[in-house]
Amino acid sequence: MSVTDYRSFADDWERRATIRTRPRRLLENDEKLIYPLCRQPLVLSATFLKHCSQWRDFVLTQSFYRFIHDVVIFETEIVDKTARSIAKNRFSLPLPLACRYDAMTVVVDEDYHALVAMDFLQQAVALTGIQPLELPVQIELSHALPAAQAQAPEHLRDAVELIVVAIAENTVTHDVAAFSKDDSVKSSVRGLMADHLFDEGRHAQFWTQLVRIYWQSASAQDRDSIAGVLPTFLTHYLTNEIQKNFDLQLIEHLDISADIRLALRNEIVAMDFPITRQHPLIGNIMSFLQHSGMLHTPCVARALDNYLPASGRPA
């Protein structure tokens, strides 16, 4: 990776990072939602709408807790790990000092995001009186990253980690952007998302730049190997099994009849989001692969042929 090709964002971080510029946000006690309805399939199911509407706020609050919990896992256990490894010069790819400095700003940002998320979790418990249920100990990326690395040659495992984290950071940026614009949600929660987005946009550019520079220098054989693990990564990353299991757990905590409980379970189990080009996150992922230059490589386009629109497929 060429030192001259890397462009630092250190000055931008000094001026604009939310850890330096944002006051603490306080959760409002108003009538707005704590979590968007469109992000929780359980509350939109036919049986729930007909028989369980009184449980809506409980389900949305627990879903908010899970979202916060997932943010903490993503930021501190995955992105932090990769960025810290780069910052401490423990990554197998050769990286310039300016890049390692920027990576440490990502560590600082991500740990701050996790801290703010935990603050909101405490505020939400105090405001609602609803204690969090037992939350998943892993997120989809916890499975997807090691599954992809396991299929790659050992000398490429750091490169796969870099690409996977870059994909996830870009996907999160688009996801948070949609969350921050939902007017049905409390202003402070949307503000939390907007603050997060402010930093994540910079992070997405950081990771995209690293992948672009790496990909330009990678050998044809290494590119082929990495392309071959991408379908495995997507299969694990885009699964909705963790969401389904969480929703099934929520159903068990609702004070409802056995018949309604069974109907809710059946509706949740029947919900599926096939991992095809129509999956809601595929467009964001393909956009990242396009901007990083990876999708211009025939081996990547071939590996992801099932996810590409007809106009984007290799000849």
Is 252 within the bounds of a domain?
A: yes
Is 26 within the bounds of a domain?
A: no
CATH of the domain at 196: 1.10.620.20
**Quick one: pLDDT at residue 310?**
54
Work out the angle between the directed axes of helices 220-237 and 157-180 (0-180°, nearest 10): 40
Q: Which residues contact 75 (CB under 8 A, 6 or more apart)?
A: 110, 111, 113, 114, 117
Structure tokens at 93: 């790819």
Q: Is the pLDDT of residue 277 over 80?
A: no
- How many domains does the chain fold into? 1
Is 12 within the bounds of a domain?
A: no
- Mean pLDDT, residues 262-284 taken together: 82
Is 223 within the bounds of a domain?
A: yes
Is 23 within the bounds of a domain?
A: no
Name the residue among 264, 279, 283, 296 with its Cα closest to residue 41.
264
Per-chain mean pLDDT for the chain: 91
- Mean pLDDT, residues 284-291 taken together: 91
pLDDT band at 2 (very low <50, low <70, confident <90, very high): low
Model pTM score: 0.91
pLDDT band at 25 (very low <50, low <70, confident <90, very high): very high
Q: What's the pLDDT tens digit per position in 37-90? A: 988 989 999 999 999 999 999 999 999 999 999 989 999 999 999 999 999 999
Is 25 within the bounds of a domain?
A: no
- Provide the residue range defining the domain that includes 252: 35-312
Is 4 within the bounds of a domain?
A: no
Is 96 within the bounds of a domain?
A: yes
Q: What's the pLDDT tens digit per position in 132-164? A: 999 888 999 999 999 999 999 999 999 999 999
